[in-house]
Amino acid sequence: MSTRQKVLAPVPAGAPLPGNALLQSLPAHELACLLPLLERVPLAPRRVLQHAGLPIEHLFFIQEGLVSVLAKVDGRSAAEVLLMGREGAVGATVMLGGETSDLTYFVQIGGSALRLRLEDLNRVARDVPSLCEALKGYLHVCLMQSSQSAACGLRHAVVPRLARWLLDAHDRSGLERLPVTHDMLARSLGVHRPTVSGAVKDLEMAGICAKDRGIVHIVDRSRLERLSCHCYRFLRAQADKWHWSKMKRKMVVAMSSFVAALEAELLAS
């Protein structure tokens, strides 16, 4: 199975804050509990992190790169239903009780992730309640975004959809120079390659993007946002709302811990 990649190194206890937003949202004591269980692994382009129909054995907290979530259309082809980057985790559907994956997770842009064995998560679940809640919240956002993306594919023209996809990829990867080919973009948008080539050419001629061999460079993001369909702004608003709810929950937990420690100190004095 492709998840049997070479492990780079365990994450040391004194390491900097992980590059994954879900892990960053955790209270310090929960993150400290998880750090010894996390392993850094490379995400090589075109690798499958999780095959549809196979058991989920690991969670991958993406730090760098981009993962395309694919749903089967027929026996030989699949369609992209979601993009995942440093805001998410592959395998999070185990929080809903699923032991196997119904979707395929394909590395679109290479990078790295922090891998957590499912058996380790089950063992420490009681000690990391914020992680379990964050994963469930993330799944809710994924459902909203995949539903909106499906509606977008049915109603909107290719150029606004391409603009939305490029903005989404930029947000999730942090890369202005996206290593994606026309073939990859065509599969992601569910259209023929010549259609994507024409749309990319339109963006080039407008000075919004520049194309190099296997690279799409976002030159003018503000104009790309204006060109995108309303779906991008809707999805961005949903993501921002979820982000602030995570930060608020983290602040409440930190304040509760501080008050508890203060009360204990007062009682001991």
Do 13 and 83 lie in one domain? The reply is yes
Average confidence score pLDDT of the chain: 85
Distance of alpha carbon 92 from the chain centroid: 11
Taking residues 196-210, report their average pLDDT: 95
Do 87 and 13 lie in one domain? The reply is yes
pLDDT band for position 147 (cuts 50, 70, 90): confident
Looking at residue 7, its pLDDT comes to 43
What is the β-pairing status of strands 177-178 and 215-218?
A: antiparallel
CA–CA dist 24, 34 (Å, integer):
12
Q: Does 4 reside within a domain?
A: no
pTM of the model: 0.82
70-108 pLDDT per residue, tens: 988 877 778 898 999 999 999 999 888 878 998 999 999
Do 118 and 214 lie in one domain? The reply is no
Do 101 and 73 lie in one domain? The reply is yes
Query: What's 203's DSSP letter?
Result: H
The CATH number of whichever domain residue 200 belongs to comes to 1.10.10.10
Nearby residues of 181 by Cβ (< 8 Å), 6 or more positions away = 214
Range of the domain at 214: 157-227
Are 156 and 231 contacting, i.e. CB atoms less than 8 angstroms apart?
yes
